[in-house]
Structures are given as C-alpha cells and as structure tokens.
Amino acid sequence: ENVLTQSPGTLSLSPGERATLSCRASQSITNSYLAWYQQKPGQAPRLLIYGASIRATGIPDRFSGSGSGTDFTLTVSRLEPEDFALYYCHQYATSPPLPFGGGTKVEIK
C-alpha cells in the first residue's frame, strides 16, 4: 500500500514567514495525482492544490505545490493569519483512493 507521510507534524511560524510542508509517498504517484487540502477548526476541508501543482479556483497565489514521483511540497510564500490551519495531502492515482496523509499543523509561533 502506498503510504503518505507528512512532515513536520507541526510547523510553528510567524505571519509573513514562508511555510514549507512535505508529503512523501512510499511508492511513486502516477501522473502526479496529489492534492493538498486545508482544514480549519470546525470547518470542512478545502481543496488548495491538485495535480501536485495546480491551484484550485480562488486559491491565492501565495500557495504553491511542487514535486513528482514520491516527494511533494506545499509552500505558502508569506503566511497570512488565515493560513494557520491543518494541511493534508492525498493521492488519488488509485481507485479506491489510498489514505490521506496524517496532516501538518501550521501554528502561530
């Protein structure tokens, strides 16, 4: 089974700083079918990135995704107060889809 490992578990940063989140797969992900979701407390997840690097509709350009194969990165260029949240990666190359990553919490330092 292709397992997604997200790191770090928690990222403590200040507004205005750059956040770099990692998602590593145990096997290569076909077609870069890797998505990133943001979830705030008490809210539903929101799609940020799909296809490893394609921003979803309405997502600010401070969010960017990169990577291929087994290593993927979500970067938030300058953290805004509303960006402090949980972030999940998910690979959708297989059907049924495999488990979501365990998540990275971006918290205010």
Partner 1 sequence: EVQLLESGGGLVQPGGSLRLSCAASGFTFNSYAMSWVRQAPGKGLEWVSAISGAGTGTYYADSAKGRFIISRDNSKNTLYLQMDSLRAEDTAVYYCAKVGSGGYYGSGSYFQDWGQGTLVTVSS
The residues that touch partner 1, with contacts defined as CB under 8 A, are: 30-31, 33, 35, 37, 39, 43-47, 50, 56, 88, 90, 92-97, 99-103
Least separation in angstroms between residue 56's CB and partner 1 is: 7
Task: Name the residue nearer to partner 1 (CB basis): 66 or 78.
Answer: 66
Q: What are phi and psi of 27, to 5 degrees?
A: -135, 155
Task: Name the residue nearer to partner 1 (CB basis): 81 or 96.
Answer: 96
Least separation in angstroms between residue 11's CB and partner 1 is: 17
Task: Name the residue nearer to partner 1 (CB basis): 37 or 72.
Answer: 37
Least separation in angstroms between residue 50's CB and partner 1 is: 5
Whole-angstrom CA distances from 74 to 1, 3, 11, 65 are: 23, 18, 13, 5
